[in-house]
Amino acid sequence: MSDSIKLNYKITDEDFTRAGEASGDVKKRLRQMGCSPEVIRKVAIAMYEGEINMVIHADGGEIDVEISPEEILMVLKDKGPGIPDIEKAMQAGYSTAPDNVRALGFGAGMGLPNMKKYSDEMHIDTVVGVGTTVTMKVYQQ
C-alpha cells in the first residue's frame, strides 16, 4: 500500500440530517483498509466535528482527505463568515451556535477542542468574510 488515496466530499448546508456522511464514509474506508481502531476513532471524531461546523457555522464547503500509510490528511474548506477570534473559538465551551441547532444537541463549544485533541496536527486559516480552512493530520503510527 504505497500509493495514497484521495477523496473529495462536497458538504451542503441544506440538510442537517446528512451531516456526518463524509466522516462516516472515511471511517468505513479506514476500517476496510485495516487501520488501527485508535486511528479510526481519532479521524472520525476530528472530521465529524469539522464537517458539522461547516454545516452549522459556514454554508457548507468541501473536504479533501488523503490517506497514506503514514498519515490521514484532512483539509476542510468553507466560504463561510470566518472566525474573528480563533483563540476564543478554541476555548472549551465557547459557542455562537444559534438556538435552532442547540436544540439538536450542538453548541457545547467542544467541537474545535475535540478536533485539536483528536488530531495530531491542526491548523486553522481563516479570514473574516472570506472563509475558513482547517487542516488536520492524524498519524497512522
Give me the residues that bind another protein (CB under 8 A), please: 16-21, 23-24, 27, 37, 41, 44-45, 48-49, 52, 104-111, 114, 117-118
- Structure-block grid coordinates of residue 87: 483563540
Give whichever of 24 and 113 is closer to ligand ATP, judged by the CB atom: 113
In which residue are the cell numbers 476500517 written? 31
Residue 133 touches which of ligand ATP, Mg ion, another protein, none (Cβ within 5-8 Å per kind): none
CB of 140 to ligand ATP, least distance (A): 25
- Structure-block grid coordinates of residue 10: 462536497
CB of 46 to Mg ion, least distance (A): 11
34: left (phi over 0), alpha (psi -120 to 50) or beta: left
Which residues ranging from 103 to 122 are in contact with Mg ion (CB under 5 A)?
A: 111
Helix, strand and coil percent figures for the chain, each rounded to 5: 40, 25, 35
Residues in the chain: 141
Give whichever of 105 and 129 is closer to another protein, judged by the CB atom: 105
Residue 136 touches which of another protein, ligand ATP, Mg ion, none (Cβ within 5-8 Å per kind): none
Residue 78 touches which of another protein, Mg ion, ligand ATP, none (Cβ within 5-8 Å per kind): ligand ATP
Kindly tell me which residue out of 26, 51, 53, 122 binds ligand ATP, with binding defined by CB under 6 A. Answer: 53
Cα radius of gyration rounded to whole Å, the chain: 14
- Structure-block grid coordinates of residue 47: 472530521
Kindly tell me which residue out of 59, 71, 97, 125 binds ligand ATP, with binding defined by CB under 6 A. Answer: 97
DSSP H helices, the chain, are 21-32, 37-57, 86-90, 99-102, 111-118
